[in-house]
């Protein structure tokens, strides 16, 4: 390999590892493309669509979990971490996908789940069959219940998906016995990371996939794993589901960092590979701890995905995300949505306005230094589907909340590829695992590829410019003066990004227009739009 000589341009990062500026595309495999007609997306489907991903111009894929799983939580309940589920095509399909992606110079990262396993993992089956206090139970977090007869859970922790975070088991004698901890669904028992067997096995999993050619991992619940000594009660039990806050004893315990250092030591044997943590931590200093030089390479910063379309909100999200990593010298990351949150089009108000704002925010995130994560379907401007019929809902949140919270299925509806009626080429079968709204006919990949001003065309252009224009150089931004309810920043290479979140057009600063998310008339940028100038 030839090394690019160090450049005199300050902030030039042409010698930095590939992920520092990469555009990642998140594939939710169940919903991306189905190759075998069962109505559920699979790895063969991803492989068949690799030409599309190349056209879109992304550098890398993050593929949500495809390991063996009973699918109690869309694959985040893993029963064998070193095999691919037949639902997704088995190991051969993964090998073929990696080869096809690499042929097109697209990297492949997998999603691994260190915090918990499936309740069908052989370790958990063995733990249930074994006695309290046995080595089999010590891989998970089993405790005696409170109260005279142990009929109360060991502490007051709720599950993120609703209901208690503990489930009581029946012992060999047929009597109610110990409880096990599951911060997510009951089908996802938490592992005990103080047991060295757990870390040893996870290291085996990392090496297994790295040796098969993957380019890294997204690590699920990377702020989980370590639990506080004695599992103390929560001071205040929140009844809100799927939310995160920094005082939550279930997450972000100091012991987690030793675990990340152990992972990193493995990753360092494979210098081409990246680790990206799902880190729901608000405090900038504590967030930054996860990406110190001997821990994760990258961590998701969710501030943009949580921010409404306001100038103050967006500016604060950007500033905080940059500050959080600056002290430790790690690249920032940006994402507007993923498979756990409401799609940005809906978050920004839905309809035409929602789409316009989502297009603008995409240009903001792609103008920033660091790595960007695009969730499949965002490039089509898809909204959430909030009126899925109740009987098709699959997110465990729906049942665990006593059918009061619909959960995350609304952002997981399959991709419309082509044609005029559902399932829009997603599957050759009669129906997709979640129904696709009939009015997505105008949002298919096919129709958007043919339209110059479609959201898909805008994404393609934006990604291409970001990857090829020298004006995107440098790892800092400088804020520019701008009218009320607008913001502007400049990259050291010379790119200027302007976002108009006001209700009327604003005058653009002087410069050559590279791209705009909406038509610019007489140097005026319309409301709910962004522009790039050089
Ligand atoms: C992460 C995943 C989410 C999953 C949970 C439990 O938050 O992104 O989809 O339900 O972990 O594994
Ligand atoms: Mg299938």
CA of 432 to the centre of ligand 2 (A): 9
Q: What is the DSSP letter of 152?
A: B
Look at residue 323 and tell me if it is in a domain: yes
- Write the residue with the smallest CA distance to atom 12 of ligand 1: 76
Residue numbers of the domain that contains 364: 18-116+196-463
Q: Ligand 1 pocket check: which of 30, 161, 221 to mutate, most ligand atoms within 8 Å of Cβ?
A: 221
In short, whether 184's Cβ falls inside 6 Å of ligand 1 is: yes
If asked whether residues 158 and 262 sit together in one domain, one would say: no
- Verify that 357 and 447 share a domain, yes or no: yes
Tell me the C-alpha distance between 367 and 495, whole Å.
Answer: 8
Residue 485 lies in a domain: no
Q: Is 280 in the pocket of ligand 1 (CB under 6 A)?
A: no
Q: How many domains does the chain have?
A: 2
Specify burial of residue 200 (Cβ count, 10 A radius: 0-12, 13-18, 19+): exposed
**Same domain for 70 and 46:** yes
DSSP for 257-274 reads: HHHHHHHHHHHTTSTT-E
Are residues 129 and 232 located together in one domain of the fold? no
Sign of the dihedral defined by the CA atoms of residues 196, 202, 204, 206, in that order: negative
Q: Is 77 in the pocket of ligand 1 (CB under 6 A)?
A: no
In a domain, 22, yes or no: yes
Same domain for 447 and 421?
Answer: yes
Ordered DSSP codes for 392-408 = G---HHHHHTTSS--TT
The sheet carrying 496-500 orders its strands as: 478-480, 486-490, 496-500, 529-533, 513-516
Ligand nearest to the CA of 37: 2
- Both 270 and 224 in one domain: the answer is yes
Q: Find the CATH number of the domain harbouring 139.
A: 3.90.400.10
Please check whether residues 274 and 127 belong to one and the same domain.
no
Q: Which of 429, 463, 497 is the last residue of a domain?
A: 463
Domain edge (last residue) among 463, 489, 507: 463
Q: Is the CB–ligand 1 distance for residue 76 below 6 Å? A: yes
Find the 368 Cα to ligand 1 centroid distance in Å: 26
Q: Are residues 91 and 141 in the same domain?
A: no
Q: Which residues of 113-132 are buried (b: 16+ CB within 10 A; e: fewer)?
A: bbbbbbbbbebbeebbebee
400, 162 Cβ separation under 8 angstroms = yes
| pTM for the whole structure | 0.96
Pair 172, 130: CB distance under 8 Å: no
Residue after which a domain boundary falls, among 411, 429, 463: 463
Q: Is 192 in the active site?
A: no
Residues 271 and 311 reside in one and the same domain: yes
- CB 459 near ligand 1, within 6 Å: no
What is the Cα–Cα distance from 514 to 462, expressed in whole angstroms?
9
Atom of ligand 1 nearest to the CA of 338: 8
Instruction: Tell me which residue has tokens 């169940």.
Output: 30
Indicate whether 534 belongs to any domain.
no
CA of 26 to the centre of ligand 2 (A): 18
Catalytic residue among 77, 220, 248, 295: 220
Token pair 């880190």 in the structure block, residue: 279
Point out the catalytic residue in the list 77, 100, 278, 295.
Answer: 278
Report which protein residue has its CA nearest ligand 1's atom 7: 221
Same-domain check for residues 127 and 211 = no
Q: Which atom of ligand 1 is nearest to the CA of 184?
A: 6
Q: Which ligand is nearest to the CA of 432?
A: 2
The answer as to whether 161 is a domain residue is: yes
Query: Is there a domain that residue 300 lies in?
Result: yes
- Among the bound ligands, the one closest to the CA of 429: 2
Distance 91 CA to ligand 2 centre (A): 14
Print pLDDT tens along the chain (534 aa): 333 333 334 445 568 999 999 999 999 999 999 999 999 999 999 999 999 999 999 999 999 999 999 999 999 999 999 999 999 999 999 999 999 999 999 999 999 999 999 999 999 999 999 999 999 999 999 999 999 999 999 999 999 999 999 999 999 999 999 999 999 999 999 999 999 999 999 999 999 999 999 999 999 999 999 999 999 999 888 767 777 788 899 999 999 999 999 999 999 999 999 999 999 999 999 999 999 999 999 999 999 999 999 999 999 999 999 999 999 999 999 999 999 999 999 999 999 999 999 999 999 999 999 999 999 999 999 999 999 999 999 999 999 999 999 999 999 999 999 999 999 999 999 999 999 999 999 999 999 999 999 999 999 999 999 999 999 999 999 999 899 999 999 999 999 999 999 999 999 999 999 999 999 999 999 999 999 999
Q: Rounded to the nearest whole angstrom, what is the distance from the C-alpha of residue 99 to the centroid of ligand 2?
A: 20
CB atoms within 10 A of CB 63: 24
Asked if residue 511 is part of any domain, the answer here is no
| Cβ 59 under 6 angstroms from ligand 1 | no
- The DSSP code sequence of 488-507 is EEE-TTS-EEEEE-SSS-EE
CA–centroid distance, residue 316 to ligand 2 (Å): 42
Beta strands in 376-475 (DSSP E): none
Residue 490 lies in a domain: no
Cβ of residue 263 lying under 6 Å from some atom of ligand 1: no
Is 278 catalytic? The answer is yes
- Largest Cα span, the chain: 81
Q: Measuring CA to CA, how many Å separate 513 from each of 236, 439, 489?
A: 52, 34, 15
Residues 442 and 318 reside in one and the same domain: yes
* Cα of 65 from ligand 1 centre, angstroms: 10
Q: Rounded distance, CA 445 to CA 441, Å?
A: 10
Same domain for 234 and 170? no
Q: How far apart are CA 239 and CA 451, in angstroms?
A: 46
């Amino acid at each position: 390999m030839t090394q690019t000589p160090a450049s005199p341009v300050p902030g030039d990062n042409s010698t930095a590892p590939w992920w520092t500026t990469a555009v990642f595309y998140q594939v939710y495999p169940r919903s991306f493309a189905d190759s075998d007609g069962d109505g559920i997306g699979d790895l063969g489907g991803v492989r068949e669509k690799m030409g599309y991903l190349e056209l879109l111009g992304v550098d890398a894929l993050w593929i949500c979990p495809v390991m063996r799983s009973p699918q109690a939580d869309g694959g985040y309940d893993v029963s064998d971490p070193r095999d691919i589920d037949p639902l997704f095509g088995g190991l051969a399909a993964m090998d073929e996908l990696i080869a096809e992606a690499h042929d097109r110079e697209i990297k492949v990262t997998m999603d691994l789940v260190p915090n918990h396993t499936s309740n069908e993992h052989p370790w958990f089956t063995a733990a249930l069959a074994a006695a309290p206090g046995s080595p089999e139970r010590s891989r998970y977090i089993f405790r005696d219940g409170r109260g005279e007869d142990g009929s109360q859970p060991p502490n007051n922790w709720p599950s993120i998906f609703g209901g208690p975070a503990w489930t009581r088991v029946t012992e060999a004698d047929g009597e109610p016995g110990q409880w096990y901890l599951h911060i997510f669904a009951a089908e996802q028992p938490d592992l005990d990371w103080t047991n060295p067997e757990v870390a040893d096995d996870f290291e085996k999993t990392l090496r297994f996939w790295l040796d098969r050619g993957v380019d890294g991992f997204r690590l699920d619940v990377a702020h989980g794993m370590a639990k506080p000594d004695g599992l103390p009660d929560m001071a205040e039990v929140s009844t809100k589901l799927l939310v995160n806050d920094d005082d939550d004893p279930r997450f972000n315990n100091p012991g987690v960092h030793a675990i990340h250092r152990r992972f990193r030591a493995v990753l360092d044997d494979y210098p081409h590979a990246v680790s990206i943590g799902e880190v729901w931590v608000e405090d900038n200093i504590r967030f930054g701890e996860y990406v110190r030089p001997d821990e994760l390479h990258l961590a998701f910063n969710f501030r943009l995905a949580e921010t409404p379309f306001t100038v103050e909100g967006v500016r604060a999200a950007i500033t905080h995300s940059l500050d959080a990593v600056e002290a430790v010298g790690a690249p920032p990351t940006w994402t507007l949505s993923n498979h756990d949150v409401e799609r940005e089009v809906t978050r920004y108000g839905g309809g035409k306005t929602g789409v316009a704002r989502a297009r603008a925010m995409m240009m903001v995130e792609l103008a920033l230094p660091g790595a960007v994560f695009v969730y499949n379907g965002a490039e089509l401007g898809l909204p959430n589907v909030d009126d899925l019929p109740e009987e098709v809902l699959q997110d465990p949140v729906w049942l665990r909340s006593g059918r009061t919270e619909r959960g995350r299925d609304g952002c997981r509806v399959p991709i419309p590829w082509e044609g005029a009626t559902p399932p829009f080429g997603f599957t050759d079968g009669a129906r997709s695992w979640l129904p696709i709204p009939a009015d997505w006919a105008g949002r298919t990949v096919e129709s958007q590829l043919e339209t110059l001003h479609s959201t898909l065309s805008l994404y393609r252009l934006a990604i291409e410019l970001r990857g090829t224009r020298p004006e995107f150089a440098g790892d800092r931004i400088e804020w520019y003066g701008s009218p009320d309810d607008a913001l502007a920043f400049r990259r050291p290479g010379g790119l200027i990004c302007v976002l108009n979140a006001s209700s009327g057009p604003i005058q653009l600063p002087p410069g050559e227009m590279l791209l705009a998310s909406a038509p610019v008339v007489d140097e005026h940028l319309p409301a709910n739009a962004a522009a790039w100038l050089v």
